[in-house]
């Protein structure tokens, strides 16, 4: 079955071509069906491949499609990697992707048919690029997908391109991603220089023979790429702005799949990172600080999607923390559970926004519980899952990362737990503001409140189910022996890294205690948040002090404006008004003027006087003779 791997990205590509080329001719129903069916077909093929791969003892297969770059000394085939990690990501991408495509058919129904088809074309192109990213058997193919998802992210954030703010958000996302991509590209060049190949199968076995300094450089550059794509400090500010795109896009790209590309890359290159402890430390610190910073910002956001966006940044930070301390399985596990519950939360928020007629401010919501029962229930499940209350999926994956952090560094553990508590607080603040209390919107909005159609609630239901049960594939060894199915499944990928790591065995008793304490604290925080915001009434008072700083996102955007944008604009202004006008234009016009002037002067030579022509001829001949003589 593995040899049919090319079908997985092929279906979305075909869907993209049909929808993209026929967008002026297809009806909304047809383009919706094509868009959804193409991803569904990929999902079916992925499941068939998964059934083959999950058998114990399956070894990675590299399926070569054709030669991509084959010149003297370097051979980069266009080939796909079929192994446990890539197939797991295939399932997440195509599975969640199918649900979100289905959801989109209802969410986007107000669009014109050609915009509707354009939307599905972009979405299919995104799925294709993302599949290319995770399937690539070398860094170059991965980079193609990496750039493709960046492009689709840009196109979909700016989907409503008639709004200037949305365009600016799209450009911001694209530029910030480009900064990261430069790092990744340099890493690829360095890898080619160092190993003479970019194939995973060639690089990873010989990585231990390379000096740690070089590996540190390569992995740091790769991490710069991951920072851009996965929204980590200092390149995270694009993700909250990316909420300008349609909500299903936020769910698919900016929560479930694209932003986890950085985690996939590091998990894929785990051996390189394990051999470069300095980079791992950097990854852990950046991940931890991003997690805390984004969580604090999320406390004071009022836009329902902004809260989710900062929550995503925070959760991604947690995943990087896991990667940094060597908990690769935990990080991948959290990617998976996060994909389910965060896609669920985004789609739930989309359902709310849909019902509220594009109102996103939570201060104008409240009491939606009775109007949107299904959305309310699934949203609550998502909140419980992300808060990490057992036995929902978020608990298992978060706990696995936290335990690994505890074994690595106690201080990091307490900070990460603090971030998890903040997560529980702001999620339930959002939940309480949206669904409890009294309705605070306008009467017109209240009149139109309605539950979303079943096409939207079915994906919510499926994702809610997954958000509940997905954790059971990774039950800690603490509860029962051999219960962590995911760890056994992924073991071949991380075997080399695990062999190098020194195991920090935390005693079972303290593990129980930490787990219990965290859970109790989280439940306490949840109850506190619920009681605090259940009876929320908007106050007219200006926020002061720390809440104001948090509401303004620590003024990071303003800081970037001052330290980067302003100097760049000043330089640009200098070049456009001084350098361009006087130096470049001066040179161009000067050449023209010189030619004109000299030709006007030379014109007088052509007097029409035969005598003067002959005189010039004779004088010139004599001059040549003199030069000839002097030359000797």
Partner 1 sequence: MVKKIKKLFEKKQASLLQQIIFDMPINYYLFLTVTLFSIGVIGVLTRRNAIIVFMCIELMLNAVNLLLVAFSQMHQAAALAIQPIASNVGAEAQLFVFFIMVVAAAEVSVGLAIIVMMYRNIHSVDINFLNRLKH
What's the length of the chain? 632
Stretch of residues binding partner 1 (CB under 8 A), selected from 135-143, 376-384, 454-462, 608-616: 608-616
Stretch of residues binding partner 1 (CB under 8 A), selected from 199-207, 434-442, 528-536, 607-615: 607-615
Q: How far is the CB of 592 from partner 1 (least distance, A)?
A: 25
DSSP symbol at 555: G
Q: How far is the CB of 610 from partner 1 (least distance, A)?
A: 5
Specify the residue, 4 or 613, whose C-beta has the smaller distance to partner 1.
613
Q: Candidates 211, 565, 598, 607: give the one binding partner 1 (CB under 8 A).
A: 607
Interface with partner 1 includes 623 (CB under 8 A)? Answer: no
Q: How far is the CB of 596 from partner 1 (least distance, A)?
A: 19
Stretch of residues binding partner 1 (CB under 8 A), selected from 61-69, 133-141, 536-544, 614-622: 614-622
Specify the residue, 74 or 619, whose C-beta has the smaller distance to partner 1.
619
Q: Candidates 611, 629, 631, 632: give the one binding partner 1 (CB under 8 A).
A: 611
Please list the alpha-helical segments (H only) found in 230-303: 238-241, 247-251, 261-268, 270-274, 277-298
Q: How far is the CB of 570 from partner 1 (least distance, A)?
A: 56
DSSP bridge partners of 82: 61
Specify the residue, 481 or 603, whose C-beta has the smaller distance to partner 1.
603
Please list the alpha-helical segments (H only) found in 482-609: 485-500, 508-534, 545-551, 556-560, 566-574, 585-602
Give yes or no for a contact between 90 and 134, defined as CB atoms under 8 angstroms apart.
yes
Residue in the block written with tokens 């303003």 = 558
Residue 4: name the closest of 68, 71, 75, 87 by CA: 87
Give yes or no for a contact between 272 and 210, defined as CB atoms under 8 angstroms apart.
no
Stretch of residues binding partner 1 (CB under 8 A), selected from 14-22, 546-554, 563-571, 612-620: 612-620
Specify the residue, 544 or 606, whose C-beta has the smaller distance to partner 1.
606
Specify the residue, 72 or 605, whose C-beta has the smaller distance to partner 1.
605
Specify the residue, 531 or 612, whose C-beta has the smaller distance to partner 1.
612
Distances (CA, A) of 533 to 355, 421, 422, 438: 22, 16, 15, 11
Q: Candidates 502, 601, 606, 628: give the one binding partner 1 (CB under 8 A).
A: 606
Strands (DSSP E) along 125-276, which ranges? none
Residues 295, 414: Cα–Cα separation, whole Å: 15
Sign (positive/negative) of CA torsion 463, 465, 468, 474? negative
Span 163-202, contacts to partner 1 by CB under 8 A? none
Interface with partner 1 includes 608 (CB under 8 A)? Answer: yes
DSSP 331-384: HHHHHHHHHHHHHHHHHHHHHHHHHTTS--BGGG---GGGT-HHHHHHHHHHHH
Stretch of residues binding partner 1 (CB under 8 A), selected from 10-18, 134-142, 302-310, 609-617: 609-617
Q: How far is the CB of 600 from partner 1 (least distance, A)?
A: 15
Specify the residue, 513 or 618, whose C-beta has the smaller distance to partner 1.
618
| Side-chain-facing half-sphere of 332: CA atoms under 13 Å | 29
Q: How far is the CB of 589 from partner 1 (least distance, A)?
A: 30
Q: How far is the CB of 629 from partner 1 (least distance, A)?
A: 15
**Residue 543 structure tokens:** 């926020």
Residues 154, 379: Cα–Cα separation, whole Å: 28
Interface with partner 1 includes 614 (CB under 8 A)? Answer: yes
Give yes or no for a contact between 416 and 321, defined as CB atoms under 8 angstroms apart.
yes
The set of residues, in sequence order, having a beta carbon less than 8 Å from that of 303 and lying 6+ positions away, is 243, 360, 361, 362
Interface with partner 1 includes 616 (CB under 8 A)? Answer: no
Interface with partner 1 includes 572 (CB under 8 A)? Answer: no
Q: How far is the CB of 605 from partner 1 (least distance, A)?
A: 10
Q: Candidates 56, 480, 610, 629: give the one binding partner 1 (CB under 8 A).
A: 610
Q: How far is the CB of 584 from partner 1 (least distance, A)?
A: 38
Query: How many residues lie near partner 1 (CB under 8 A)?
Result: 9
Residue 251: name the closest of 123, 425, 113, 393 by CA: 123
Q: How far is the CB of 611 from partner 1 (least distance, A)?
A: 6
Distances (CA, A) of 573 to 168, 396, 561, 569, 579: 20, 53, 16, 6, 9
Specify the residue, 507 or 608, whose C-beta has the smaller distance to partner 1.
608
Specify the residue, 578 or 618, whose C-beta has the smaller distance to partner 1.
618
Specify the residue, 442 or 607, whose C-beta has the smaller distance to partner 1.
607
Give yes or no for a contact between 95 and 125, defined as CB atoms under 8 angstroms apart.
no
DSSP symbol at 480: S
Q: Candidates 21, 175, 469, 618: give the one binding partner 1 (CB under 8 A).
A: 618
Specify the residue, 578 or 626, whose C-beta has the smaller distance to partner 1.
626
Specify the residue, 572 or 618, whose C-beta has the smaller distance to partner 1.
618
Residue 413: name the closest of 526, 318, 516, 328 by CA: 318
Interface with partner 1 includes 577 (CB under 8 A)? Answer: no
Report phi then psi at 27, rounded to 5. Answer: -80, 165
Give yes or no for a contact between 418 and 296, defined as CB atoms under 8 angstroms apart.
no
Interface with partner 1 includes 615 (CB under 8 A)? Answer: yes
Specify the residue, 213 or 623, whose C-beta has the smaller distance to partner 1.
623
Residue 246: name the closest of 114, 119, 113 by CA: 119
- Residues found near partner 1 in the complex (CB under 8 A): 606-611, 614-615, 618
């Amino acid at each position: 079955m593995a040899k049919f791997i090319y079908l997985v990205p092929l279906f979305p590509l075909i869907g993209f071509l049909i929808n993209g080329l026929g967008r002026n001719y297809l009806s909304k129903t047809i383009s919706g069906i094509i868009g959804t069916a193409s991803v569904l077909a990929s999902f079916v093929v992925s499941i068939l491949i998964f059934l083959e791969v999950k058998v114990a003892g399956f070894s990675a297969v590299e399926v070569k499609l054709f030669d991509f770059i084959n010149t003297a000394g370097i051979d980069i085939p266009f080939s796909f990697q079929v192994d446990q990690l890539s197939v797991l990501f295939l399932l997440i991408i195509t599975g969640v992707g199918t649900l979100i495509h289905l959801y989109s058919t209802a969410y986007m129904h107000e669009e014109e048919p050609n915009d509707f088809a354009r939307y599905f074309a972009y979405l299919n192109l995104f799925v294709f690029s993302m599949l290319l990213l995770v399937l690539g058997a070398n860094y170059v193919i991965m980079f193609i997908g990496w750039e493709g998802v960046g492009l689709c992210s840009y196109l979909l954030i700016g989907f409503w391109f008639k709004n200037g703010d949305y365009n600016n958000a799209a450009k911001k996302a694209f530029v910030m991603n480009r900064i990261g991509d430069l790092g990744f590209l340099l890493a690829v060049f360095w890898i080619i220089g160092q190993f003479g190949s970019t194939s995973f199968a060639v690089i990873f076995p010989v990585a231990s023979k390379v000096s740690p300094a070089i590996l540190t450089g390569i992995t740091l550059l790769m991490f710069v790429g991951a920072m851009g794509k996965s929204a980590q400090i200092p390149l995270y500010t694009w993700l909250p702005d990316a909420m300008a795109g349609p909500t299903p896009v936020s769910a698919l790209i900016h929560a479930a799949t694209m932003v986890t590309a950085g985690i996939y890359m590091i998990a894929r290159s785990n051996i390189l990172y394990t051999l470069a402890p300095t980079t791992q430390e950097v990854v852990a610190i950046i991940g931890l600080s991003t997690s805390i910073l984004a969580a604090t910002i999320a406390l004071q956001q009022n836009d329902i999607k902004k809260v989710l966006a900062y929550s995503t940044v925070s959760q991604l930070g947690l995943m990087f923390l896991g990667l940094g301390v060597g908990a690769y399985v935990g990080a991948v596990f959290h990617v998976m559970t996060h994909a389910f519950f965060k896609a669920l939360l985004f789609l739930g928020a989309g359902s709310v926004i849909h019902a509220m007629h594009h109102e996103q401010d939570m201060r104008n919501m409240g009491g939606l519980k009775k109007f949107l029962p299904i959305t309310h229930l699934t949203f609550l499940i998502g909140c419980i899952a992300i808060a990490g209350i057992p036995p929902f999926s978020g608990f298992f994956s978060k706990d696995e990362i936290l335990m690994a952090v505890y074994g690595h560094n106690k201080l990091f553990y307490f900070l990460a737990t603090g971030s998890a508590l903040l997560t529980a607080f702001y999620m339930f603040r959002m939940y309480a503001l949206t669904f409890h209390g009294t309705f605070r919107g306008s009467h017109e909005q209240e009149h139109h409140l309605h539950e979303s159609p079943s096409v939207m609630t079915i994906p919510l239901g499926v994702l809610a189910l997954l958000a509940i049960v997905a954790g059971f594939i990774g039950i800690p060894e603490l509860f029962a022996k051999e219960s962590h199915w995911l760890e056994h499944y992924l073991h071949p990928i991380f075997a080399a890294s695990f062999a190098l790591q020194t195991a920090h065995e935390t005693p079972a008793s303290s593990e129980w205690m930490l787990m219990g304490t965290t859970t109790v604290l989280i439940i306490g925080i949840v109850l506190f948040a619920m009681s605090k915001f259940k009876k929320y009434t908007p106050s007219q008072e200006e926020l002061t002090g720390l809440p104001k700083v948090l509401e303004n996102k620590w003024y990071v955007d303003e800081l970037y404006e001052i330290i980067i944008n302003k100097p760049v604009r000043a330089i640009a202004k200098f070049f456009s008004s001084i350098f361009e006008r006087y130096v470049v234009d001066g040179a161009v016009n000067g050449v023209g003027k010189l030619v004109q002037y000299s030709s006007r002067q030379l014109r007088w030579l052509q007097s029409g006087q035969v005598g003067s022509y002959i005189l010039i001829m004779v004088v010139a001949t004599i001059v040549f003779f003199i030069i000839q003589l002097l030359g000797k």
